[in-house]
Structure 1
Amino acid sequence: MIKILFISCIFSSVLIFSQIKAKIVKVKDGDTVVALLSGNKQETLRLADVDCPENGQAFGKNAKQFTSSQVFGKTVIFYRIGKDRYRRTLAKIFYDDEKYLSAEIIKAGFGWWYFQNSRNIKLKEFETFAKEEELGLWSDKNAIAPWDFRKAKRNKQRKEIL
């Protein structure tokens, strides 16, 4: 029994981190895309390591446009690393000779390093550079992190209910 559990754990981790080739057919927002897999199956991918402004937030459309300019219609390589609370696949996406999409978004100033869920310290350096250079959303001195924006929106909705 222990052998079976051990083998199944190894096999499932290989599946989770296997390389997948797909075409990006939709960009939902700056950090969420839809990939077309073999067999015409679509899968929604939430980018790992980055959090972009929400669609209704300042720079949300800019973040979506940037992501679209980088990967829409392109064939990419991605790695599944888990699921988020909305059951979307968390993924690391690579394109154009191994560019890491999350890093490119942060470097361009269209997303925050999602430090709560990422151990990739290099992304913090990219964020600091973008902030110092006032790139993208960092041109706004009062830029609000998406997690704070979502929290404020939830609090407002709760107050409206009461």
Structure 2
Amino acid sequence: MPLLSRLAISLLTAASLFPPQAAIAETLLGRIVSITDGDTVTVLDPTNQQHKIRLMGIDAPEKAQPFGSRSQQNLGALLFGRDVAVEWNKRDRYGRIVGKIMVAAQGCNDPQCPKDVDSGLEQIKIGLAWWYQQYAREQTPTDRASYEQAEFMAKTQRLGLWADRNSIPPWQWRREK
């Protein structure tokens, strides 16, 4: 086999050993105008166009599940009416943008405040969402580690949905319905 062919095969083999990394292709700036549930919101952009956003990396309880309403309320308290930056790179099968929603810290109302609070991570930290491991490969290694650690801590401290030892993850609950 020629050297060039062996080199190409070696490179392809090596590349297959490393999972794809999440690449944030776009940032959408806007204001949160609606909270659908604990992991879906609507953003109004500067041109007054609305965008449905599904939070990347989490799956919150459905409205009919235990903690579904609390999850929605908490996300609303964190985001509703606030300016955000949505870092995203794909849409889901329903046409929603799947992204990480960044917001300024709660006490900062100046538009110049840095948007450095990850709303999905906050939902996990207080036990109102699961880390959606099925889609972990779409996250950056740093986000994967943060989300995994946050879920571990929430479980250990039995926060939110983790207080119920029989909590059913939403993906399983949807499958059973």
TM-score class, shorter-chain normalisation, is: 0.7 to 0.9
Q: 2:89 aligns with which of 81, 87, 102?
A: 81
TM-score, L = length of structure 1: 0.82
- Deviation by residue 1:57-80 (Cα, 9 ceiling, x = unmatched): 111001000100100000011112
1:131-142 pair list within 5 angstroms: 131-142=155-166
Gaps in structure 1 of 5+ consecutive residues: 1-15, 154-162
Shift of 1:124: 1.0
Measure, in 2, the Cα distance between the counterparts of 1:93 and 1:17.
14
Greater radius of gyration (CA): 2
- Deviation by residue 1:86-136 (Cα, 9 ceiling, x = unmatched): 111101110014001111000010000000002413211100100111111
> Does residue 104 in structure 1 map to residue 122 in structure 2?
yes
1:43-54 pair list within 5 angstroms: 43-54=51-62
TM-score, L = length of structure 2: 0.75
Measure, in 1, the Cα distance between the counterparts of 2:27 and 2:148.
25
Identity %: 38
Aligned partner of 1:143 in structure 2 is: 167
1:1-162 pair list within 5 angstroms: 17-96=25-104, 97=114, 98-119=116-137, 120-153=144-177
Q: Is the 8 A contact 2:57 2:133 kept in 1?
A: yes
Shift of 1:18: 2.4
Measure, in 2, the Cα distance between the counterparts of 1:81 and 1:101.
17
Q: Which runs of 4+ in 1 moved over 2 A?
A: none
What is the DSSP-based 3-state SS (H/G/I as helix, E as strand, rest coil) of the residue aligned with 2:171?
Answer: helix
Report the number of matched residues.
138
The structure where helix makes up a greater share of residues is 1
Shift of 1:150: 0.3
